Amino acid sequence: MRYIHDRENWWQFHYDSQQILNELGRVRAKQGNVLGRMLSLGFDSQDEAMLSNLSLELVRSSEIEGKELNLEEVRSSIARQLGIDTAGLVPASRYIDGVVEMQLDATQNYNKLLTHDRLFGWHNVLFPTGMSGLYRIEVGRYRSGEMQVISGAMGKEKVHYQAPSASRVYAEMERFIDWINTCNEIDAVLKAAIAHLWFVSIHPFDDGNGRITRALTDMLLARSENSSKRFYSVSAEIKLLQKEYYEVLERTQHGNGDITEWLLWFIHCFEQALDSTEEKLSSVMRKTEFWERYRHVALNERQRRLLNMQFDGFFGKLTSSKWAKIAKCSPDTALNDINDLIAKGILQKTNEGGRSTNYILVNNIRKKNMSEISAS
């Protein structure tokens, strides 16, 4: 037997229950604490945390597959589709709107039954043109050909994994979907980890399997909290640990059905995602406080957009030339925007030398006397 699916009844995974439950109990307690803290925030802060984490989830999930998404467009698409009022929205591409639609269906409708058609719909929005790069693929249906996971240059390819034959895919997916919809005997976070491994091992589509795997994982994690509010990004942590991720998957897929190592790795990754949320919480609260404090200050759309980007950390040092490029305006307009923000006490010049002048947000925003800021 070469691969995990070559075993009879291969889907009947086994693992060291005591070892897993010890780790799971600790992380589940942390999950409850993080969720409680987030839900104690005001609605504006919750919305901001949702926007940040859903955006990060989609961007990082695509990056794992070598696909780059524009973070601003993703954020704007999520805000529009969720009806969240936020500053500096930009138009999103048809593709990004589709990817967002898939993720929101998975997380906002987390208790909805999983069906073949629902998965086909997700696959359709990932490939609206029927193409993956330069190649036409089967879209909105399971693959009819064989599937291998390969790395390396042409002529020096290494086969890491070969999925079940195409003739088995529908039956394998039928069994998987029935388990997703009916199995309630195991912990929901553990179920998310098993589903992740199981789906990616079937590899039912021509392309997009990783992104759909992670959408399913988020759906099951939402079920584990009985909440559609997403405050952490597992895909962001997988991206940071990408080499480990592929290595542990490959060892498990070449194994004898013991998935203890995979489950421990997933729980560890999940815990890191929760820990990262603690850091993001401070940033979200600063951003929410900023816009609450400056809500009566007149700002144009370019200023709102670039200020949001400063909080979200989309770029490093802010210069007038970078402002002009991102805002698609003239250098004079960019400098006028910046000088206006300096006059209103929102930006300040840095003390750094160099050919370009850099600008940062004023550090003592909390201490600003808003009565001194002109609303004109």
CA–CA distances in Å: residue 261 to residues 8, 82, 252, 257: 21, 37, 8, 11
Q: Give one word for 345, left, alpha or beta, with left for phi > 0 and alpha for psi -120 to 50.
A: left
Last residue of a domain, one of 284, 312, 341: 284
Q: What integer pLDDT is reported at residue 157 of this predicted model?
A: 84
Q: Phi, psi (5° rounding) for residue 188?
A: -65, -35
- What span, in angstroms and rounded, lies between the C-alpha atoms of 341 and 360? 11
Beta strand 347-349 pairing with 135-136? unpaired
Pair 230, 304 in one domain: no
Q: What integer pLDDT is reported at residue 353 of this predicted model?
A: 59
CA 293 centroid distance within chain: 29
- Specify burial of residue 156 (Cβ count, 10 A radius: 0-12, 13-18, 19+): exposed
Q: What integer pLDDT is reported at residue 366 of this predicted model?
A: 40
- Dihedral of alpha carbons 166, 168, 174, 178, sign: negative
For helices 260-293 and 242-253, angle between their N-to-C axes, nearest 10 degrees: 150
Pair 57, 202 in one domain: yes
Q: What integer pLDDT is reported at residue 42 of this predicted model?
A: 79
* CB atoms closer than 10 angstroms to residue 192: 21
Domain that holds residue 176: 4-284
pLDDT, mean of each 10-residue run, the chain (376 residues): 91 96 94 86 82 90 91 92 82 92 96 98 94 90 94 84 96 98 95 98 96 96 93 92 96 96 97 85 77 89 88 73 92 95 92 76 51 40
Report if residue 291 sits inside a domain.
Answer: no
Nearest of 57, 54, 51, 29 to residue 237 by alpha carbon: 57
- Contact between 269 and 237 under an 8 Å Cβ cutoff? The reply is yes
Q: What integer pLDDT is reported at residue 99 of this predicted model?
A: 93
Report if residue 290 sits inside a domain.
Answer: no
The structure tokens listed for 273 are 């995602």
For residue 368, what is the domain's CATH number? 1.10.10.10
CA–CA distances in Å: residue 133 to residues 66, 155, 180, 210: 11, 21, 31, 16
Q: What integer pLDDT is reported at residue 312 of this predicted model?
A: 67
- What span, in angstroms and rounded, lies between the C-alpha atoms of 327 and 347? 17
Pair 65, 111 in one domain: yes
Pair 251, 183 in one domain: yes
- What span, in angstroms and rounded, lies between the C-alpha atoms of 149 and 256? 19
Question: How many domains are there within the chain?
Answer: 2
